[in-house]
Amino acid sequence: MGIEQGLISFLMMNMDIIYLLDLAGTAVFAISGVQVAGQMRMDPFGATVLAAVTAIGGGTIRDAILDVGPAFWVHDPVYLTVIILTSMLTILFANRNHRMPPILLPLADAAGLALFTVLGTQKALAYGAPGMTAVVMGVITGVAGGIIRDLLASRVPMVLQKDIYATASVLGGVVYTGALLIGITEGWAMLFAMTGVFVLRMAAVHWHLRLPMFVLKHHRE
């Protein structure tokens, strides 16, 4: 059985689990969107908009590129419901406690990155995309929403800075596809990949790990 057929069989047998994971990723990315909105002193509507683009922006772009029809959330309002409820609860929690724990944003962001990277890669493979393309789709799913969020908040997107962020997403996609190629079962492949993304991202946050910067030297006549 090929990887594509194996993935389809796995998805059919574990549809409820995959769906719940997708909703969980939507919620944690929505939290990170509200967190950024709070830092920029936006109103609740602005916070909900940032939550929405962060949570479903990457998946929407992925589905458009893969040409799989309307984006996943168009015919399933549960995603929008999760975003709205998560935004309201996060805002209420922040108002009641005056401030959120500083670690909450990186934790939520890392968890969402790990989940969406693997789920995006998985969906691309299930639709017959080659491994390298699937990795790119996973990265788009994981980071594109955050890019849109940061642009709307007038910030330099995190993925374009020296922090290890997109690199962690690439690692997750490579680990996931590589694990499937060598015969590791789908569930373990997902676990290894998500753990790799989350651990690398949080290690980068904790120890301030950076990629080397590219700086052009001034040309001298």
Domain ranges of the chain: 3-207
Distance CA 87, CA 84 (A): 5
Distance of CA 194 to the CA centre of its chain: 11
Dihedral angle computed from the Cα positions of residues 115, 68, 77 and 89, in that order, rounded to the nearest 10 degrees: 20
Cβ 91 vs Cβ 47: under 8 Å: yes
Distance CA 23, CA 17 (A): 10
Report the pLDDT value the prediction gives residue 106, as an integer from 0 to 100.
86
For the entire predicted model, the pTM comes to 0.90
> What does the pLDDT look like over 104-142, one tens digit per residue?
778 888 988 999 999 999 999 999 999 999 999 999 999
Distance CA 25, CA 180 (A): 22
Cβ 59 vs Cβ 43: under 8 Å: no
Cβ 10 vs Cβ 100: under 8 Å: no
SS (H, E, C) 175-215: HHHHHHHCCCCHHHHHHHHHHHHHHHHHHHHHHCCECCCCC
Report the pLDDT value the prediction gives residue 161, as an integer from 0 to 100.
74
Distance CA 153, CA 51 (A): 12
> What does the pLDDT look like over 24-44, one tens digit per residue?
999 999 998 998 999 899 999
Longest dimension (CA), the chain: 67
Distance CA 198, CA 221 (A): 47
Query: Bridge partners of 174?
Result: none
Report the pLDDT value the prediction gives residue 125, as an integer from 0 to 100.
95
Cα separations in angstroms, 159 against 60, 177, 178, 213: 18, 22, 24, 13
Report the pLDDT value the prediction gives residue 157, as an integer from 0 to 100.
87
Report the pLDDT value the prediction gives residue 98, as an integer from 0 to 100.
63
User: Which residues of the chain register pLDDT less than 50?
Assistant: 221
